[in-house]
Amino acid sequence: MVTLHQLRCFVATLEHGSFTKAAEALGLAQPSLAQQIRLLENGMSAPLFQRVGRGVVPTEAALALEGHARQALDAVEQGRRAVANVDRAVTGTIRFGLFGAAHLYLETQLVADMRERFPSARLALIGQNSMDTIELVRRGKLEAALVALPIDDSVLQIKPVTRDEIVYVTADPDRVQQIVTPADLAAATLVLSEVTWGDADYTRQQLRSAVQSVGGTLQAAIEVENVETALEVAALGLADAITARSVVRRHQDKLSAPLYCFSLEPRLYDHFAIVCRHNAVLSRPVQAVIEMAAARLRELVRATAA
């Protein structure tokens, strides 16, 4: 089967007269481009290029194919532009749900993406906590949302996006070992966020279970609402915090002192997913926002985990 990718590789090779230069122009490895040309030749049942010195020249079959290949690529580009024009014409309000700490991950960038894609639409990003956001989706007040798991709800469809490691955060790297155990947590002076949610907060539930497994009790010396405040307290050396690695990396340059992250044993993670109602027919703008939000979050977590 002939693909658009094969045709792009074919046209680029025609234009550059070299597999190497064509691959560079498309941002591909040369072997990958050559493989696409071989697949296209198999699909056409004819050789398309002959090697001459360090380059290639088109065969008669390639010259016969060229016009059709360019027409196909032009048609796809025209279709893409037509769809983009539809997106630019979208009006009304696009509503999308987010988890509580989304502003520390992707919210501003997502707004920029949405404004570029849907410049005529009004935007509403909603959510102070995943549980509240999930309830809005369940009740049909939101089409979809990007939230933190877990969710135990047969009404909702869940599509995992990525995960972010929960780490022990301290201003004093000599205070702990390389791996922080449940016994270490039981003895630590901690500042914990999400005080309003307390026992309902899933991260706290996991930490509490880990500490209880060694006969200890998870106790916070300081409790605050916002993750940012917890990190600022940790930067002052007043207590150690526990939060997601990406949040620390993103917030580090705003703090009064550097913070150091250590993995927990056993390792814990925040898991993120897109949720919507089963069999929901999502509007095109919301489908686009889902794709943008998931891509942004994956990119951020991958970058900060490196």
The string of pLDDT tens digits covering residues 145-176 is 999 998 877 789 999 999 999 999 999 888 77
The CATH number for 4-88, chosen from 1.10.10.10, 1.20.1430.10, 3.30.1600.10, 3.10.180.10, is 1.10.10.10
Q: The domain 93-161+272-305: what is its CATH number?
A: 3.40.190.10
Q: What digits encode the pLDDT tens for the residues 46-105?
A: 999 998 988 999 999 999 999 999 999 999 988 877 776 655 556 678 999 999 889 889
Residue in this structure with the two tokens 């490196």, named with its chain if needed: 306
pLDDT score for 86:
58
pLDDT score for 155:
82
pLDDT score for 15:
95
pLDDT score for 88:
58
Average pLDDT, integer, range 269-279:
93
For the CA atoms of 130, 134, 136, 137, the dihedral, rounded to the nearest 10 degrees, stands at: 140
Residue ranges of the domains in the chain?
A: 4-88, 93-161+272-305, 163-271
Q: What digits encode the pLDDT tens for the residues 227-267?
A: 999 999 999 999 999 999 999 998 888 899 999 999 999 99
In sequence order, what E strands does 23-155 have?
49-52, 55-58, 93-98, 122-126, 144-148
Q: Which of 141, 95, 99, 152 is nearest to 118 (CA)?
A: 95
pLDDT score for 284:
86
Residue pair 101/230 in contact (Cβ under 8 Å)? The answer is no
Instruction: Say what the pTM is.
Output: 0.68
Q: What confidence category does residue 270 fall into, taking pLDDT thresholds of 50, 70 and 90?
A: very high
Decide whether 4-88 matches 163-271 in CATH topology: no
Give bridge partners of residue 52 from the DSSP assignment: 55
| CATH top-level class of 163-271 | alpha beta
Give bridge partners of residue 190 from the DSSP assignment: 240
